[in-house]
Amino acid sequence: IIAKEMGVDLHTTTGPLLDRPVDLAGMLTSLGPRDVFFIDEIHRVNREVEEYLYSAMEDFRIDIVIDQGPRARTVNIELEHFTLVGATTRQGLLAAPMRSRFLITAALDYYDSQDLARIVHRDARLLGFQVAEDGATEIARRSRGTARLAKRWLRRVRDYAEVEGDGTIDKEVAGAALEILKVDHLGLDETDLRLLEAIIDKFEGGPVGVNNLAAVIGEEEDTLSEVYEPYLIREGFLKRTPKGRVAMPRAYEHLGRTPPSRLDDQINLL
């Protein structure tokens, strides 16, 4: 959108691909006047490469070292003025000098159901089929506020509609397809439910450490912490405390369990 509004070209890459200074130099020298240079997962840019970005962002030039030893020399390369846009889900991993050089920072929230429904309609149109309004809303409701999930579920629902029905995607068809995929009406999948059940049934509601949870449900600790827990915490199913993870009253209600007495007092104490 930024590049289109500015009437310039967009150049994209990802942080892991910028492993050597020469990689960065090649991309920067290919930029035209005022072009937009987008780096996804910018927190994964090699630290050495990141330092080269500093002079590019401030002075629109980079200094590249050619050769080694006594023959080493520095070559100054002037760059066209460009706009750098970086995206990350882990801003804390960016070096402080890098963060401070971005003059504009913005945090993007999750999509609401209406926006996701529009994304579902658009993707369906691009793929050459139609989705009923209530079908798009049902897919959006189970997509955890994430466009990527909405797009994935749309394709799976389409497959189900074509095999099990006449291709029509309404609320009933979307719900049936997603139930087969074990995605419930709140967007929780099988692993989410296993995680909550493990805390409640095996650890008496918590607190429990993520290492124990990972061992019980057979997932990596990082996967639980970075993929599953954020949504459960945001929706009020789970709470992180200094002593570990604790199941919240909403988790008991969702699983049809009765919360233990004085649960709120225990959570506040933790």
Give 63-118 pLDDT, tens digit per residue: 777 767 777 777 788 888 999 999 888 888 888 888 888 888 888 888 888 999 99
pTM of the entire predicted model:
0.72
The two most distant CA atoms of the chain are separated, in Å, by: 76
* pLDDT per position as a tens digit, 207-235: 888 888 888 888 888 888 888 888 888 88
Tokens representing residue 8 in the block? 């310039």
Q: Could you tell me the domains of the chain?
A: 2-101 (3.40.50.300), 113-180 (1.10.8.60), 190-269 (1.10.10.10)
**247 phi, psi to nearest 5 deg:** -75, 135
- Separation CA 235–CA 150 (nearest Å): 18
